[in-house]
Structure 1
């Protein structure tokens, strides 16, 4: 049996089983224990290597804290557009380009560095993570360890955040795209 978009019901249930488990932050082992089935059985059910039977639905749904209907139902389609208000902090205006979570812990932002952001803190911040920055307009000043770099429009930088770092402007405002891990977001973009 298939649903309207052409996806077989068994495939949809397998996909929903994995989606719901991951959304709730549950491991295969936790769900398998709750459902009183073997971990390898659950793994094979999710991957399609084992046939999904009707009697699996109630125990798996209960293990995930949902109804059996929720396992069978096609999830509502989300609006793919990312909307949010700009957030201003410490001379930075940011617009989120990703929802929090689905990008493997990475978050993308369009950032405008205001002309007043010219003086770095002492000491420069250091934290866990990695950052990627692409300058769209303006000339960005990047202090990275002992280096004082000017990043021009069209240039990209990538660096470990264990290196002391800070970014600001040379003269005019800077617009950039930045990708931060969760740690970089907390340090640079606190609300």
Structure 2
């Protein structure tokens, strides 16, 4: 999806952003790393990934990941970031830090909408989660030619107006009440079909569905 202020995309970044800004000093990282090996193995198995698939997604060799999971090698911070993105979590969770209690209810009007490249984004979910929920306002003619490709899954539900969703070579016309669910490694575009624009609920996750081929 298009980039929000700060250079991140609303559909592709909250987890990587949350991981990269986790307040971990090098000394704290060094103290916590010895405990990360069993947690890495547990998270991989919980996600249903083989050692080979997880290593490929994180840009590591299977042998290297195996050494990390058995504690024979300590991960660097870039490795932890890559593995956190792969498993849909944060570096803080990988290191066993207890996340702060989150407020489960987001009240109407409690957050200011964000505008980027003509679209308006209303946050509909909490920060630091494994999925990001938004309400999108999509004007006619805005970003219709922007092709997006990134890891994860996307789901959208049309509230108002019409949307044209292009997935690879396929084009789908969506009306109010229609929804779509797809892997976002498939090149995709989204545009309003009418001059009145469109509005949709949108959810993005960093994790892919298990029936797609592993990616680098």
TM-score normalized with structure 1 length? 0.51
Confirm or deny that 1:180 pairs with 2:204.
yes
Gaps of 5+ in 2: 1-21, 40-95, 208-216
Change (3 A) 1:77 1:109: closer
CA contact (8 A) 2:114 2:122 kept: yes
SS of equivalent to 1:168: strand
Deviation at 1:31, TM superposition (A): 10
Point out 4+ residue stretches in structure 1 off by more than 2 angstroms: 23-26, 30-33, 75-83
Shift in Å, 1:77? 8.5
Q: Deviations over 1:4-46 (max 9, x none)?
A: xxxxxxxxxxxxxxxxxxx9999xxx5996xxxxx9xxxxxxx
Q: Which has the higher contact order (CA 8 A, sep 6+)?
A: 2
What is the CA-CA distance between 1:181 and the residue it aligns to?
Answer: 2.1
Query: Aligned-pair RMSD on alpha carbons?
Result: 3.6
After superposition, what is the alpha-carbon deviation per residue over 1:28-66, rounded to whole angstroms, capped at 9, x for unaligned? xx5996xxxxx9xxxxxxxxxxxxxxxxxxxxxxxx999
Aligned equivalents of 2:165, 2:101: Cα separation in 1: 43
Q: Distance in 2 between matches of 1:111 and 1:97?
A: 10
Paired residue for 2:106, among 78, 81, 93? 81
**Relative to structure 1, is the Cα distance of residues 115 and 78 closer, same or farther in structure 2, using a 3 angstrom cutoff?**
same
Q: Calculate the TM-score normalised by the size of structure 2.
A: 0.46
Q: Secondary structure at the match of 1:179?
A: strand
- Note the 1:10-21 alignment, pairs <5 A: none
Query: 1:8-157, aligned counterparts within 5 Å?
Result: 30=32, 78=103, 80-82=105-107, 83-101=110-128, 103=129, 105-117=130-142, 119-121=144-146, 124-157=147-180
Instruction: Please say which of residues 174-183 and 146-155 is displaced more in the overlay.
Output: 174-183
- Rg larger in structure: 1
Q: Which runs of 5+ in 1 are unaligned?
A: 1-22, 34-38, 40-63, 67-74, 184-191
Cα-to-partner distance string for 1:142-163 (whole Å, 9 max, x where unaligned): 1111012111100110001111
- How many aligned residue pairs are there? 118
Deviations 1:116-158 (A, max 9, x none): 326313xx22111110000011000111110121111001100
Aligned partners of 2:97, 2:203: CA distance in 1, in Å?
Answer: 34
Give the drift of 1:115. 1.8
